[in-house]
Structure 1
Amino acid sequence: MARVALFILAALLFTVPAEAQQCRLCYSDPAAKEGEPPLTIEIWADLNFSKLALTGRDGGAAELSANGGGKRTSGSMIDLGGVAVAGHGRITGTPGREVQIDLPSRVDMTSPDGGRAELVEFHTDLPPHPVLNARGELEFNFGARLVVHSGKGGNLRGRIPISVDYN
């Protein structure tokens, strides 16, 4: 079974200039059979929690919903506004094939000034058994919960490994 994996940066808003027609975050299946479309995954938007602030030293959390439910905060984390963006991806491959998308259980986040956090509770808006449509495509959104355990945050970044495989 061929497996396609993709690592993306979280907490950034990724944009591709209009003149760049080739996807920078695309990975395709090197084990695709001849005549069969390769299994690929593209990430069109990274997770972006926008503007958050810690009001105390005990940390806090923010959750970004995959299904358009927005951003919620808890603990000493407060929302300072801005547009939060759920991750958005697209899978292509053999039409009608069922796929499995694997998201990590946890991702470490760091900032240049020493802040640390983690992304947990990843989720998508996909049904339990996602299937590529008649054109061999499937788009999905993903979200997660950002947890800061101490009073130090920052411009947090991390790499989210996402893999896709045929079922």
Structure 2
Amino acid sequence: MPIRVKPRLLSVLFLWLALPSAASAQCMLCGKGDSGSVAANRKAETPLRIDIETQLDMGRVAAGASGGEVDLDPVTGARRLSGDVRDLGGFAVTGTVTVRGEPGAQVRIFLPTAVDLENGSGRTARVTGLATDLGAAPRLGPDGRLIFRFGGRLQVAGASDGDYRGRIPVTVEYQ
């Protein structure tokens, strides 16, 4: 008999906002010096801001004895189930993030390779393969905004039911 699993990544995002890279960083408490380029000074004066528009949610599934995976594609939003996992409905939703900063600036986005989630009874599930829909060299638009989506792969063990939650650190820094 399948065990009901409701893996959800609600309340998942805890953001770590990185300061601009060393090439453009400056002491925020120090006076403005003449060293460095104008572009580097502008970037240092325009801090990055990250807003979570949509939290990642893998939906509801039931896992049989051998468990399986739920894969959520960040580009298409399609959810694929593999192994001994069955769809119980609900909406799977990719995470959506808005980054604001210096218009036209190139940024780097970092997601962890894996994140452990926990249910109320202390059992864990793992999200791996976190990926975005961004190209190789993302830039903030002329309005200073960049919106991207992300998804990943939830590994579900057969004997673990419940509502799983965790935090996915998203790091953004100027290139």
TM-score interval w.r.t. the shorter chain? 0.7 to 0.9
Instruction: Find out whether 1:90 has 2:101 as its counterpart.
Output: no
Give the Cα separation in 2 of the matches to 1:123 and 1:136. Answer: 22
Unmatched runs of 5 consecutive residues or more in structure 1: 1-9, 15-23
Counterpart secondary structure, 2:51: strand
Give the Cα separation in 1 of the matches to 2:173 and 2:58. Answer: 28
Structure 2 length-normalised TM = 0.75
Alignment of 1:54-69 (within 5 A): 54=63, 56-69=64-77
- Counterpart for residue 18 of structure 1: none
- Larger proportion of helix: 2
- Contact 1:91–1:138, Cα closer than 8 Å, also in 2: yes
| Per-residue deviation, 1:93 | 0.6
- Counterpart for residue 170 of structure 2: 162
- Contact 2:98–2:147, Cα closer than 8 Å, also in 1: yes
Instruction: Find out whether 1:103 has 2:103 as its counterpart.
Output: no
- Counterpart for residue 115 of structure 1: 123
Instruction: Find out whether 1:12 has 2:16 as its counterpart.
Output: no
Give the Cα separation in 2 of the matches to 1:95 and 1:69. Answer: 28
- Contact 1:58–1:76, Cα closer than 8 Å, also in 2: yes
- Contact 1:64–1:143, Cα closer than 8 Å, also in 2: yes
Structure 1 length-normalised TM = 0.79
Larger Rg: 2
Which deviates more, 75-84 or 135-144?
75-84
Among candidates 123, 131, 134, match of residue 126 of structure 1: 134
Alignment of 1:42-81 (within 5 A): 42-54=51-63, 56-81=64-89
Give the Cα separation in 2 of the matches to 1:82 and 1:148. Answer: 17
- Contact 1:26–1:43, Cα closer than 8 Å, also in 2: no
Give the Cα separation in 2 of the matches to 1:166 and 1:28. Answer: 9
Deviations 1:54-96 (A, max 9, x none): 1x22111101111124111111111111111100000011111
Give the Cα separation in 1 of the matches to 2:82 and 2:102. Answer: 42
The Cα RMSD (Å) is: 2.5
